[in-house]
Amino acid sequence: MTHNPTIARNKAFTSIFDVRLPIVAGGLMWLSNAEYVAAAANAGILGFITAASFPDDTKLRAEIRKCKSLANGKTFGVNVSMLPKLVPNEKTKDIFQLIIEEGIKVVETSGRNPEEYLPMLKAADIKVLHKVPAVKYAIKAQSIGVDAVAIVGAECGGHPGMDMIGSFVNAAMAFEKLKIPYLIGGGVGHGSQITAALAMGASGVIIGTRFLVAKEIWAHDAFKQKLISSSETDTALIMSSIRNTVRALKNKTTNQVQTLERENPNLSVQELLPFISGNIGRKAYESGDTSYGVLSAGHSLAFTNKIEPLAAIVSKLEQEANSALNRLSTITAL
């Protein structure tokens, strides 16, 4: 397909991060490895290896180098998810140093404020995309000097925050509040939404759930088939009781956690750990048994219709976005 450059009419993000299309494949815990991230790079979008998926520094370094060999010189980054509060023996600074040593030029940060690490990243000429669950946090991120922000709304899989503001509102509100490039995420899985986000002032979108059925995602096909058979109504919100709301695929685990939270609103993280541990979710990806585990998924389950290469999904999104732009071109006035 001949690329229609109008999809990238807001050049701020694509220029800063050196990608063809204004689409980010957000970091997916356990799943964003070299094969997937390189596939994103080769499809013309920006992907991130999730550092937390490789707790051993040697393995993370090896995964970065593997991705370099697969990405054919195209841009990719590393996601560094920081805990809301600094804890003893946390290795965040060491991870950033490793990223610098490996010559990575883009990082995606999330969790707490990345301000203390910006000087070392800026000195290494690394661009920082900070992911937040509300516009008010994006304003703060702008004030400390990040290069761009990704704002994920209530519809997103994973962590939509506590305010639960929808993507449609976030997109318009951010245009009024921000000067730096911003991306909109949460429920994005169709190309027309990309066009809508651009029209509302965003520099692009961030996508997670829609890409979970990509062939390059290493998870078991049974997991992907479950996503394909699910709809936008098949997610549940849990963990609000510990102020860490998660939207995940409905299953026995989400039912159990919701029951516990109803019965005891003062639950501690320790009491929930036997149900929400990330290792349980990883086992589901390995086995294909989606009955248990907190398996992040958002409303864009509406668009997960088959397993196919990531490049094919991106191509379809691009076609849909350009079709939407063509529809807009026929409108001369409201």
* CB contact at 8 A, 149 and 131: yes
User: CATH top-level class for 5-217+307-326?
Assistant: alpha beta
pLDDT tens column, 58-76: 999 999 999 999 999 999 9
pLDDT, tens digit, 9 for 90 and up, residues 21-46: 999 998 999 999 999 999 999 999 99
Whether 84 shows a pLDDT value over 50: the answer reads yes
Q: How many Å apart are CA 115 and CA 140, to the nearest integer?
A: 10
Q: What mean pLDDT is predicted for residues 308-326?
A: 97
Structure tokens at 141: 């991120």
φ/ψ of residue 125, rounded to 5: 60, 40
Q: Is the model's pLDDT at 95 over the cut of 80? A: yes
CB 150 within 8 A of CB 161: no
Q: Look-up: residue for tokens 């989400």?
A: 254
Ranking 48-52, 169-173, 321-325, 328-332 by mean pLDDT, the lowest is 328-332
Q: Which position has the higher pLDDT, 90 or 263?
A: 263
Domain assignments of the chain as residue spans, ordered by start: 5-217+307-326, 221-287
| pLDDT above 70 for 4 | no
Statement: residue 87 has pLDDT above 60: no
Yes or no: say if 283 and 239 are a contact pair by the CB < 8 Å rule: no
Tell me the pTM. Answer: 0.93
Do 216 and 224 contact (CB within 8 A), yes or no? Answer: no
State pLDDT tens for residues 287-297: 999 999 999 99
What digits encode the pLDDT tens for the residues 181-231? 999 999 999 999 999 999 999 999 999 999 999 999 999 999 999 999 999
